[in-house]
Amino acid sequence: MAPGPITAAAIAMGARNRFAGALIAVGHGIIEFPLMVLIILGMDAVLKSAATKVVIGFAGGVFLLFMAIQMMRSLNGTEEQEVKVTRSGPVVAGIVLSGGNPFFLIWWASVGLNLAITAVGFGIWAFVLFAIVHWLCDLIWFSVLSWASFKGSVLLGPRRQKAILWICSLTMFAFGLFFIYNAATALVEIL
């Protein structure tokens, strides 16, 4: 539930599609479920490596900058048009924003790993239950965000909605720069 690029995308895409949050959660789950299994099997060491942080940071940062710029361009249109966050849709946005977010992967390699290992300690069914409940929380949260954004777009009117979408696009842009900066810093430390 921590605010981040997926939150901004759920709000931005939710302005036009009340189900965008649920679809983003599906994309998020496509990355998250296999990742949970992989970290239990030892992939956390790979996720913690400096080289992985650099690659994921640069890739995620570039994608966020691309999404933010695309959204800003559509907001600058003079006529009433649909705000585009990504041409590929909410599921792909959920996949890319999850897989390209170094902090998401680092969280799973640390805090998430501890939670998953604790669940495994109670048995495989406890781990399965943990994974499902964790994802359902994401599904509910992103669905609420997109539904509120969809309803808010009607209540706020086009001008206020555009201001909120500008804030979301600037937030995605800032996260993109932050990811790239962290990746560059990690690269300098490697070299």
Q: What is the pLDDT of residue 53?
A: 78
Q: Cα torsion at 182, 28, 166, 64 (round to 10°)?
A: 40
**Predicted confidence band of residue 2 (pLDDT cuts 50, 70, 90):** low
62-120 per-position pLDDT tens digit? 888 888 888 888 878 744 444 455 556 899 989 988 888 877 887 887 778 888 888 98
- pTM (two decimals): 0.75
Q: Residue 126: its pLDDT value, please?
A: 94
pLDDT at 80: 47
Q: Left, alpha or beta for 50 (phi > 0: left; psi -120 to 50: alpha)?
A: alpha
pLDDT digits (tens, 9 = 90+) for 131-190: 999 999 999 999 999 998 888 877 777 788 788 888 888 988 998 898 899 889 989 988
Q: Using CA atoms, how far apart are residues 33 and 153, in angstroms rounded to an integer?
A: 32
Alpha helices in 102-123 (DSSP H): 102-109, 111-121
**What's the average model confidence in pLDDT over 18-30?**
95
